Amino acid sequence: MAGGFAPSTVPLTSTGENKSYTFALSVLTSLFFMWGFITCLNDILIPHLKAVFTLNYAQAMLIQFCFFTAYFIMSLPSGYIVEKTGYKRGIVLGLIIAGIGCLMFYPAAGARSYGLFLTAFFVLASGITLLQVAANPYVTILGKPETASSRLNLTQAFNSLGTTIAPIFGAFLILSMSVKSGEALTSLTPEELAAYQLTEAAAVQKPYLLLAGVLFTIAAIFAIIKLPVIEAGEQVASGATTGEERTSAWQYPHLILGAVGLFVYVGGEVSIGSFLVNFLGEKNIAGLAEADAGKYVSFYWGGAMVGRFIGAALLQKLNPGKVLGAAAMIAATMVVITMLSSGTLAMWVVLSVGLFNSIMFPSIFSLGVAGLGKHTGQGSGILCMAIVGGALIPLLQGFIADSIGIQRAFFIPVLCYLYIVYYGLKGHKIR
């Protein structure tokens, strides 16, 4: 799952003597795990709420639309909040807002209101956005500057660990509930349908109450532990020769193309994950029940976790643009095979796409901000806002799936990956 970068306008440094921040890093890593876990849990809730409220695919994708729209709307306000309150308080506030979002699932289920569910998703994602804006700068300064990238890769790996565990958790506690088919629902009286929806919607109450408790507990821990003070440092002139010649990050074509690349990457990755449970339930694919299909989603996100460890080693020696282009081409080919095949072949090929998604976010990000000099902070904010692709592209694929079927609709991620091939091989070059 994508992790955001703080849209700060100045580099960050820590005050105080150089010392070990092992405990602080460990606690910060828990944040990456939690927002990966919560974000991936959407893949489980989509098929569940789709069945409970008898939604079509487009309506079900409003879940991702509301969730990822928060990144676009709340990214800049979150940066302002962090600037005014400080990064530690920003983390605490983000955890509290995310916890409130989790609590909102309880009344949403009680009222059998899909609209209230969508509101809860937006509030939850707003908290996570603030967390991401505040947490990443801490990770970069807790240790030697030359190992900052390594620390970010490690925390992102734990983000993927969260996305790997979440489907198993959701499948066991949510999808294990028996959801009636659309035909069975039409035979129910209005009173029976209301009672059924109340029972099934309530399946999300306990898991999200538990998540709220965890988030509030972590917020309390962050409120009392000591973390290094972050303050504005002097402008680093890395790549500043080109940065001094232009007045805005928007004037760098490779950054703008990178933002488009991040937009389609997040959109394609989230689209595939969002449709996996329903896709694996298709009779010509695996015919799995939702609870069983949900467990297989872990292979998709687990591949991303493994790939990040492998990619961290490969990118130390290989050209990141070429690695990105190759990974995207393989991913596009695999999705095409998914569209043209059936049975276990289609199932395992699409689940394996996650392995090649793994290096795309950090590669696109690093290539996008290369050579920006003093405009690097602004460029980071632009890239962070591009995560809104996770809101729009799954919704588009939902409309198409309603028209031509879920399997054929996978041509949308194919187009996303083909653009990333272009960016990796040519579009990232500084002009």
- List pLDDT tens digits, range 295-329: 888 899 889 888 887 877 777 778 888 989 999 99
> By percentage, how much of the chain surpasses pLDDT 90?
35
CA angle 229-232-237, nearest 5°? 135
405 or 79, which is more confident: 405
Per-residue pLDDT tens for 242-266? 445 678 888 899 999 999 999 999 9
Reference 176, options 301, 283, 295, 16; nearest CA is: 295
What is the model's pLDDT at position 168?
A: 80
pLDDT at 236: 39
User: For position 217, what pLDDT does the model report?
Assistant: 93
Task: Answer yes or no: is 84 within a domain.
Answer: yes
Region for residue 222 given its phi and psi (left: phi exceeds 0; alpha: psi -120 to 50; beta: otherwise)? alpha
Q: How many CB atoms lie within 10 A of CB 23?
A: 11
Q: pLDDT category, 196, cuts 50, 70, 90? A: low
Residue 210 has pLDDT above 70, yes or no: yes
Domain ranges, residue 190: 12-427
- How confident is the model at residue 7, as a pLDDT? 43
Q: Establish if 29 belongs to a structural domain.
A: yes
Residue 3 located in a structural domain: no
**Residue 354 belongs to some domain of the structure:** yes
- Per-residue model confidence (pLDDT) at position 197: 59
Residue written as token pair 């020696």? 317
pLDDT for residue 30: 84
User: Which of 227 and 72 is assigned the larger pLDDT?
Assistant: 72
Alpha-carbon distance of 409 to 167, in angstroms, equals 23
The answer to pTM > 0.75 is no
Mean per-residue pLDDT, 121-128: 94
pLDDT of residue 237: 35
Of 122, 114, 98, 113, the residue nearest 35 (C-alpha):
98
Residue 7 lies in a domain: no
Q: Looking up tokens 């080693």, which residue turns up?
A: 313
In whole numbers, what is the pLDDT of the chain averaged over residues?
80
**pLDDT at position 326:** 95
Mean pLDDT on 172-192: 56
Average pLDDT over residues 136-147: 60
Q: Flag whether 6 is in a domain.
A: no
Name the more confident of 237 and 141: 141
**Token couple for 352:** 């394996």
Q: Could you tell me if residue 1 is inside a domain? A: no
Identify the residue with better confidence: 210 or 418.
Answer: 418
pLDDT, mean of residues 97-116: 91
| Count of structural domains within the chain | 1
pLDDT at 398 over 50: yes
CATH of the domain at 361: 1.20.1250.20
Angle between helices 114-141 and 22-52 (to 10 degrees): 160
Separation CA 99–CA 96 (nearest Å): 5
Residue 46 has pLDDT above 60, yes or no: yes
Mean pLDDT of 260-286: 92
List pLDDT tens digits, range 348-377.
999 999 999 988 887 887 788 777 777 766
Q: Is there a domain that residue 119 lies in? A: yes
Question: Which of 49-58, 124-133, 367-376 is most confident?
Answer: 124-133
pLDDT of residue 174: 67
Burial class, 382, CB count within 10 angstroms (exposed 0-12 / middle 13-18 / buried 19+): buried
